[in-house]
Amino acid sequence: MSSGRVGRAVRESVSGLPREFWWLWTSTLVNRLGAFVATFMALYLTLDRGYSASYAGLVASLHGLGGVVSSLGGGVMADRLGRRPTLLIAQTATAVSVALLGFMTHPVAIAGVAFLVGMASNASRPAVQAMMADIVRPEDRVRAFSLNYWAINLGFAVSSMAAGFIAEFSYLAGFLIEAGMTLACAVVVFAKVPESRPAPSARQEEAAVGLGTVLRDGRYMAVVGLSFLVALVFQQGSVGLPVAMGRAGFSPADYGLAIAVNGVLIVALQIPVTRFIEHRDPRTLLVVSSLLAGYGFGLTAFAGSVGVFMLTVCVWTLAEIVNAPTQTGLVVRLSPVHGRGRYQGVYTLSWSVAALVAPLMAGAVIDRLGAGWLWGLCAVVGTGAGLGYGVLMRRLPPERPVDTAAPATAGTGAAGTGAAAGAGADVPAA
């Protein structure tokens, strides 16, 4: 491909998105570039502090539990307080708690602050996703979510490499750098990102959305359940795969080499693949990506060398690239405009719960039955998710024409325009 065609493809991938989206995207990238603590937390606790692996696992679980709690709380805040205030509160709280964690020495204090870090850091996710849905036109949402996912993985890839060097110098420096970069994100949001929450109409105020409304929305909760199954499979890349490779005699460096393929492929392929799938049938994309995820991990049962492990990672990474923006777009499509925060919070909850369940599932299956059974179970779960999406999407009504009548909150500028433009494209909750 010539440089001219590459340049044109890049321009087409990033053109047409509002300025507010790019400031929000920049905030996401900066946040992930500074995500050092999650990378070296286990090493910090076991090597630097001298705690046991069991204690490190407990801290990780408490961090995840904090995320489960804040998934719902963050969604409610995004709808009640607004997207921008929720982001500012969450990012400021994350910066303070991460810095505080670096100075904790008592095991109870470390565990408690780790729980707070999990709560604070996860509370911003529903607000970010709801804000992107507000400010981006319906036809551009898959591309926008894909670009945001690309920024997350690019930032994580860089921060993972930097974390090793920083840990060699000082673990405390890593905590403080992450706190500083998270605070920088809050400054970007404060200075450049206006509120995007649409002002509810009289009809919407009468039909107020609570968490009970979301939980009673059978069609949407089916999507959340399928999301949980897919997340359960994808989590095995960081949970089951290193354990299985270690028991098979492979070194941590071998696992690092294999899993690095995931980040490299996402950074290299997320944008071109999104251009290919952007206007294709989401039902087909979700079914195929679920099957690729399940059988990608299923093929791990036959891996006997690092090269074959890398090939299996290629398969399920392609599934991840297709699934992430498509599924997020479906979630927005099923969310009423005035309840996007709560709906996004429940969706985020599916991934948070999967992060808690996946380690328990992997450990129990590998210990009692062997790794081969875990990979077979992944294939079964992926197949079930694919069948579920096939049935669900067959009954899904088409998107409605854009309704420009929905008012936006005062002072939102271009963001308010985007919110109004996207209001009518969402299918009302069942």
Query: Which pLDDT belongs to residue 404?
Result: 36
SS3 308: helix
B/e letters for 282-319, b = 16+ CB within 10 Å, e = fewer, are: bbebbbbbbbbbbbbbbbbbebeebeebbbbbebbbbb
Task: Kindly report the number of other CB atoms within 10 A of residue 268's CB atom.
Answer: 12
Residue whose C-alpha is closest to residue 39's, from 123, 157, 122: 157
Amino acid occupying residue 247: R
Domain architecture of the chain: domains with CATH: 18-198+402-430 (1.20.1250.20), 210-396 (1.20.1250.20)
SS3 408: strand
**What residues in the chain have per-residue pLDDT under 50?**
202-207, 400-430
Query: Which pLDDT belongs to residue 414?
Result: 33
Residue 72 has which token pair?
């719902």
Residue whose C-alpha is closest to residue 223's, from 67, 108, 392: 392
- Predicted model pTM: 0.70
How far apart, in whole angstroms, are the C-alpha atoms of residue 23 and residue 340? 20
Query: Which pLDDT belongs to residue 396?
Result: 64
Asked if 75 and 126 count as a contact pair (C-beta separation under 8 A), the reply is: yes
Q: At what angle do helices 141-169 and 3-14 cross, to 10 degrees?
A: 100
Query: Which pLDDT belongs to residue 354?
Result: 86
Residue 123 has which token pair?
């509370």
Looking at the DSSP bridge assignments, the partners of residue 408 are: 198
User: CA dist 277 to 296, 303, 325, 383, Å?
Assistant: 20, 30, 10, 21
Helix, strand, coil % over all residues of the chain, rounded to 5: 80, 0, 20
Query: Which pLDDT belongs to residue 397?
Result: 55
Tell me the residue ranges of DSSP E strands in 10-141.
none
User: Residues with Cβ < 8 Å from 51, sequence gap 6 or more?
Assistant: 45, 107
Residue whose C-alpha is closest to residue 324's, from 154, 72, 144: 144
DSSP code of residue 198: B
Angle at 210 between CA 208 and CA 216, to 5 degrees: 110
Query: Which pLDDT belongs to residue 416?
Result: 34
Query: Which pLDDT belongs to residue 266?
Result: 85
Residue 192 has which token pair?
């450049």
User: Residues with Cβ < 8 Å from 97, sequence gap 6 or more?
Assistant: 113, 116, 117, 120
Residue given tokens 């002072």 in the structure block: 411
